Structure 1
């Protein structure tokens, strides 16, 4: 991700990449620097033993869950349909239950010491509690139907779900009902010129988590909807495996020097010049961004009118 951001060539992109790499390096260096400053603390570290074997197996379960999610991404991108979202969530739950059963002592691996069920130590108890806390929002997400707008789940639970599980699929048919032009830049541009409105472009991705968060959480808010009503809206996917997505990705990079999603642009349809643009997850300032684009459009048209 940092390489993609730096490839944009903008000052902000280069700074973000540099900042991210510095943080990445510092996080990895801190433990070694701390132990070199206080070498006697090494003696207090616990020796490897059964706890290390248990920890490795727990990490194995976590890697299995991560593998499922990473397999889901190309499946979604290539539209193979082998791993629907509900199947991915169900696999997460099965892996979590298997991990909890292991920590409870119902079974073991290899040469691991057989435990009596429910006779567990503090470390295993903490692992069971954490696993249960992770499984809870995943189970809620599996039971709740993902929608284009806000789900009926509590906001905190919704945020945890978004961090842990695949984003809900895009529901473009709902967007079309609300007046969006999906993957139709030419049609949206013609409509904006016909109605004398600015054009709002949403450069998005099929499996872009932040895109889904913006669509579900920010777009339906009243201040944003008020600004959307004054514009023609188009959503352009840049990561589908078709020629249109390649065209839209090239348009985003060549015109705006950006390759990340989501990326939002308000432009004047008369000459396709940019009135305002922003990117990423911007829940608080998004309505202001739209308003600035609308203000620039109005002032430009007022000055050009006789």
Structure 2
């Protein structure tokens, strides 16, 4: 193969120093391993809670046995976007320490060993790397020169990437706005349920009749609205404080919690259909109603509490959906969604108390309120299956593949259409009621929506609900043109096949622990246009740079490139050196197309989950083959 004339992309964000130090105990010395990292890079602790994430830092003696008792400082514990989990790591300057008993070792000997580590930044990881050392025991430093093993952070990443953090803050702020608007929309929907809508004129009438002046009535109504907002927002904070901020992350990741949430929303949805009512204890409502007779601000507070309790059978299911939709892992999200919900609920009470003349413009209560409730119930049942799908994907049970999920949504949409056209009825519907033209229009919308989803049953595109159904690869039908698998993991073997079939060779430098590699395989390789090329037009070989399988000893070598040593003793190190020495890259995923002489064709590609970007690269390279 030939070297590529491209700018160097070798990343080496860490440097090591390993030294020996005297201790206060005679016949004992201390080995201190010091890693210095570039800003915004981090290295992982020895003690990770899961084997499903990155490679933990480990220390080995000359016999390749792990060294016990290596101490480390208290690591940071934070969410790592590369592995989508909370992990223990260090940044900037980190030290490890172990003690060596010299009683059975001559001072003229050499202490040999190795260590294994993995480093990442916020977007990528480098493959696990070995560092080998040989320390003359005659070169022991004085204990007085021993460094501080737990230095304070210099916050280099915060200072160097202030603009990036500002952008992240803006993104979080934008996310909270959408969560607030979602809560506002659900609160607005709750207004048109049988439990809430009739209370608007009753409550406004109460304030206008019991207040001595119009100004007093408006003031009391505003206080009433404030207490509605206070009660519902406090509820969101109370739930989060009780279960913990991480409960929102649990919603997204824990399969059993997702199953529980599915059952909860399913029960709430069925209750909206009128088969049973979910109510808080009647004694709560009676006590709150009695307390509201006290008058003054305390009485107004208990009036708001009475509204929250008696309307729970209608608002409860919507609150559950709102909190589930606000699953972001912070106090801000449930606060924002409940604030939006309560403001939408409180505004009509405050507005009509200030301008009671507008009450005449409200439609009268009637069967249409139950229709709204049934529609909301069916929609909630449809959304409940999203949480069942989450659990199924995590456990990989195959119970709810993409086509079945879409089929359930089609059934829900057609049920909604049939109900709104008056073809089916539920327990609380008025018998023989005339179907309005407005109701028929909404029914037609759901009918069209069901028709739009139908092609999804056989793999068609349903982009309007992207993100809700399972991914395309989680399917009943095995679409051969969408399934991509690299049949080769050895360069020489794959090149021989490429020559025999007269096709170019596509190198896929990847890793077992590379999350972005999996994202490319799931989001890009499954694109119909990409999969056809990978299956038919190239020979694809996946070279795993973190493969720890040992090479035969006769193949062990020590290579150097770009000032970095490569101890090639494993298959992964062989491919890691190949990538670095031939393409000046050491981050994964990395894709490059070669001709039969091993010469690069066109450019190269890295992580970009946009299939169009990968298509542009591969088509350009193929045109030059």
What TM-score, normalized to structure 2? Answer: 0.30
| SS of equivalent residue, structure 1 residue 285 | helix
Question: What is the alpha-carbon distance in structure 1 between the residues aligned to residue 543 and residue 174 of structure 2?
Answer: 33
Q: How does 1:1-306 map to 2 (within 5 A)?
A: 9=122, 11=164, 16-25=171-180, 28=184, 46=363, 49-115=366-432, 119-142=434-457, 144=458, 146=459, 158-160=462-464, 162=466, 165-170=469-474, 174=480, 180=486, 188=489, 190-191=490-491, 198-201=507-510, 203-204=517-518, 211-212=522-523, 215-217=526-528, 219-220=530-531, 229=538, 232-233=541-542, 269-271=578-580, 273-274=586-587, 277-280=606-609, 282-287=610-615
Aligned match of 2:501 = none
Question: What is the alpha-carbon distance in structure 2 between the residues aligned to residue 173 and residue 46 of structure 1?
Answer: 53
Aligned match of 1:149 = none
Counterparts in 2 of 1:128 and 1:48: CA distance versus 1, 3 Å? same
Question: What is the alpha-carbon distance in structure 2 between the residues aligned to residue 164 and residue 109 of structure 1?
Answer: 28
Question: What is the alpha-carbon distance in structure 2 between the residues aligned to residue 122 and residue 176 of structure 1?
Answer: 44
Question: What is the alpha-carbon distance in structure 2 between the residues aligned to residue 278 and residue 107 of structure 1?
Answer: 51
| SS of equivalent residue, structure 1 residue 67 | helix
Alignment: residue pair count: 234
Task: Indicate the RMSD between aligned Cα atoms, in angstroms.
Answer: 5.1
Higher strand share: 2
Aligned match of 1:263 = none
Higher helix share: 1
| SS of equivalent residue, structure 2 residue 579 | coil
Shift of 1:71: 1.3
Alignment check: 8 A CA contact 2:527 2:611 kept: no
| SS of equivalent residue, structure 1 residue 215 | coil
Return 5+ residue gaps in structure 2 as ranges. 1-78, 87-120, 124-163, 185-339, 496-504, 511-515, 545-575, 591-604
Counterparts in 2 of 1:64 and 1:110: CA distance versus 1, 3 Å? same
Alignment check: 8 A CA contact 1:278 1:289 kept: no
Shift of 1:200: 4.8
Shift of 1:105: 1.9
